[in-house]
Amino acid sequence: MRTDGIFLTEIEETEAAVQAGAPESGASRLRFQLPSRIPNGERALASRQLATLIGASIPLVEALGALVDQIEHATLKAVFAQVREKVNEGSSLADALTASGKFDTLYVSMIRAGEASGALDTVLERIADYLEDQVRLTNKITSILVYPLVMLAFAGVVVTMLVTVVLPQITGLLLSLGQELPWYTRLVISSSDFVRGWWWAIAVGAIAAVAGFRAIVRTERGRATADRLTLQLPVVGRVARVVSIARISRTLASLLGGGVSIIKSLEIARHVANNAVMAEAIDKARVSILEGASLAAPLRASGEFPPMVITMIEVGERAGDLEAMLAKVAQTYDEQVETTISRLTSLLEPLLILIMVGIVLTIIMATLIPLLEITNSLH
């Protein structure tokens, strides 16, 4: 009952008791619920609803109880039921959220700052805005990438069918005629035979390569090397840098706006950068600020941030409005992410078509030309 957010407040005996062994309709259903991830959209909706309830001067425990009744996501409902119970026992909201293990450091830090400043409803609104921005950007990127990924999957299916079904029948006919085949035809036949005979070894090799890469990337040195190489790639590197800067800027803006100190904000922002090189630059900036430097100076010295970002941070520091400037940087770079990926996919679509057409034409020409030559020799 606690998992479903139901708390017993009163119990009394009734005359019409349910007979043992005869459960009510639907009471005998078994429910199996696997652990599920809580989407950011559900977190944002719950945060905004809780902000509305607290802003209406409803006590926190009652607001959490009303929130549990409104939440439809089963896992999130259970989490907030546990949070309500801990708050009812005297725990702070931030500590209760930390104990649940379902909320990251950024979320908990902003809640803690909101509780300390007495502006919890405002901080919850900022959290909801932050999460909604992340969801909006992710949805845009996903919608842009859907078509190229579908095309890539279709091309893979077409090539697989040609190599495993169509090509063996044609090559069997060519080999049965006993004619000498061109080198490119022999190459295509050998490739087809290799794929059909050793597909399991190719699959095992691919899985081993992916597992090895993941193992290397999980190490600190391997992750730093991979992220540094990623940033140096022509197009992918620009996208990775822009995405990282947008995340860092929006996180810092949200945390500073929520009353979190600049040192704590930078410590959290380094974890959301999702790039070891950018995280190292943020960490050096945090150390420099502890020594009395500004934020812009160490970021400029790192060489990882564009001049426009540095200039806007400097202006924000001089004007005492760093939060607003960081929010503008995040908005600008979110738009750049969408624009860059749109251009990349617009180039990727015809490239995929050309690759698929090239593979199909190679297979057709490698089999059709020998057949034509054999037909002409018969005349």
Give per-residue pLDDT as tens, 304-355: 898 988 999 989 888 888 888 988 988 888 888 878 877 877 777 788 788 8
pTM score of the predicted model: 0.67
Quick: pLDDT tens for 139-162. 877 877 787 788 878 877 877 777
- Asked if residue 141 and residue 99 are part of one domain, the reply reads no
The per-residue pLDDT for 294 is: 84
- At which residue do the structure tokens 């001049």 appear? 307
The per-residue pLDDT for 267 is: 84
Q: Which residue type does 18 have?
A: V
User: What span, in angstroms and rounded, lies between the C-alpha atoms of 76 and 85?
Assistant: 14
- Asked if residue 348 and residue 225 are part of one domain, the reply reads yes
- Asked if residue 210 and residue 93 are part of one domain, the reply reads no
Which DSSP string corresponds to 126-146? HHHHHHHHHHHHHHHHHHHHH
Tell me which residue range forms the domain holding 275: 133-379
65 occurs within a structural domain: yes
Our count of domains for the chain comes to 2
- CATH number for the domain that contains residue 241: 1.20.81.30
Which DSSP string corresponds to 33-63? -------HHHHHHHHHHHHHHHHTT--HHHH
> Among 3-17, 86-100, 163-177, which stretch is predicted with the lowest mean pLDDT?
3-17
Quick: pLDDT tens for 11-21. 776 654 433 33
For residue 309, CA distances in Å to 88, 300, 332 come to 45, 9, 10
- Asked if residue 158 and residue 81 are part of one domain, the reply reads no
120 occurs within a structural domain: no
User: What span, in angstroms and rounded, lies between the C-alpha atoms of 295 and 311?
Assistant: 11
62 occurs within a structural domain: yes
User: Which residue, of 82, 103, 124, is where some domain finishes?
Assistant: 103
Q: Is there a contact between 99 and 86 (Cβ–Cβ < 8 Å)?
A: yes
114 occurs within a structural domain: no
32 occurs within a structural domain: no
51 occurs within a structural domain: yes
The per-residue pLDDT for 3 is: 66
> Among 35-39, 75-79, 129-133, 294-298, which stretch is predicted with the lowest mean pLDDT?
35-39
Quick: pLDDT tens for 215-262. 888 888 888 888 889 888 887 888 888 888 988 888 888 888 878 888
User: What span, in angstroms and rounded, lies between the C-alpha atoms of 65 and 347?
Assistant: 51
- Asked if residue 220 and residue 166 are part of one domain, the reply reads yes
The per-residue pLDDT for 36 is: 65
Name 335's Cβ contacts closer than 8 Å, sequence gap at least 6. Answer: none
Residue 160 is encoded by which pair of tokens? 């697989």
Residue 25 is encoded by which pair of tokens? 């309709």
The per-residue pLDDT for 337 is: 80
- Asked if residue 292 and residue 200 are part of one domain, the reply reads yes
The pLDDT of residue 8 is above 70? no
